[in-house]
Amino acid sequence: GAVVSQHPSRVICKSGTSVKIECRSLDFQATTMFWYRQFPKQSLMLMATSNEGSKATYEQGVEKDKFLINHASLTLSTLTVTSAHPEDSSFYICSARWDRGEKLFFGSGTQLSVL
Amino acid sequence: QKEVEQDPGPLSVPEGAIVSLNCTYSNSAFQYFMWYRQYSRKGPELLMYTYSSGNKEDGRFTAQVDKSSKYISLFIRDSQPSDSATYLCASSNQGGKLIFGQGTELSVKP
């Protein structure tokens, strides 16, 4: 299967700081990438859809000014959690739609802990 | 009603058992059906991918889609302790968002 790389895998930060998470498709071009949030024992919650070269589309209830998404190239999307607070602590996962069909491949996830 | 419904379990089986995981969906426009396996604190891994109705087999895994009843199944033969994970079904139409079920937590006991 195709490979999606996500970094960092774990980050601990102080309240008020900003954190950037990178998501790269290593062996295919991804015109569409997705960002999810996952709480323990729960399913994936879609936060936003990003298309290369255009603004991200956010799901209802997701603050676009807090969760900045940039999809500047066909292989890289970034999620920046601005002015992070303890309630932003969660597991964040990116995914990329394969360029030869509808398959979706996921990164390994980032555990964010805000102190 | 959620677009994709999945029993969250947990489901516990002895090693070597046949496991049956199931989902139902409500959107008739869904054409693409996937099963993912997720280990704790890891990203989901694509296990099976099916377009429209039918069966697909890959090793110990078989995926079935019945569009007439809007029913999706994953069978695991000769289950192993390493199969212990959360299994997520997901569906979409072309170019659309992938809609996930709640996930079923599976435990295979040695």
pLDDT digits (tens, 9 = 90+) for A1-16: 689 999 999 999 999 9
In this complex, do A34 and B88 lie within 8 Å of one another by their Cβ atoms? no
Helix, strand, coil abundance in chain A, percent, nearest 5: 5, 50, 45
Rounded-to-integer distance, Cα A72 and Cα B19, Å: 43
Residues 55..84 of A with a Cβ closer than 8 Å to B: which?
none
Check residue A66 and give left, alpha or beta (phi > 0: left; psi -120 to 50: alpha): alpha
In 3D space, the residue among A67, A35, A27, A28 whose CA is nearest the CA of residue A51 turns out to be A35
pLDDT digits (tens, 9 = 90+) for A37-89: 999 888 899 999 998 888 899 999 999 999 999 988 889 999 999 999 999 99
pLDDT of residue A34: 95
Name every chain B residue with its beta carbon within 8 A of the beta carbon of A48: none
In 3D space, the residue among A99, A64, A42, A2 whose CA is nearest the CA of residue B38 turns out to be A42
* Most distant pair of Cα atoms in chain A: their distance: 41
Name every chain A residue with its beta carbon within 8 A of the beta carbon of B102: 42-43
Judge contact between B73 and B52, C-beta under 8 A: no
Q: How confident is the model at residue A31 (pLDDT cuts 50, 70, 90)?
A: confident
* DSSP β-ladder status, A76-81 and A67-73: antiparallel
Name every chain A residue with its beta carbon within 8 A of the beta carbon of B92: 102
Helix, strand, coil abundance in chain B, percent, nearest 5: 5, 55, 40
In this complex, do B32 and A44 lie within 8 Å of one another by their Cβ atoms? no
In this complex, do A106 and B44 lie within 8 Å of one another by their Cβ atoms? yes
pLDDT digits (tens, 9 = 90+) for B16-57: 999 999 999 999 999 999 999 999 989 999 999 999 888 999
pLDDT digits (tens, 9 = 90+) for B68-95: 999 999 999 999 999 999 999 999 988 7
Chain CA centroid to CA B8, Å: 11
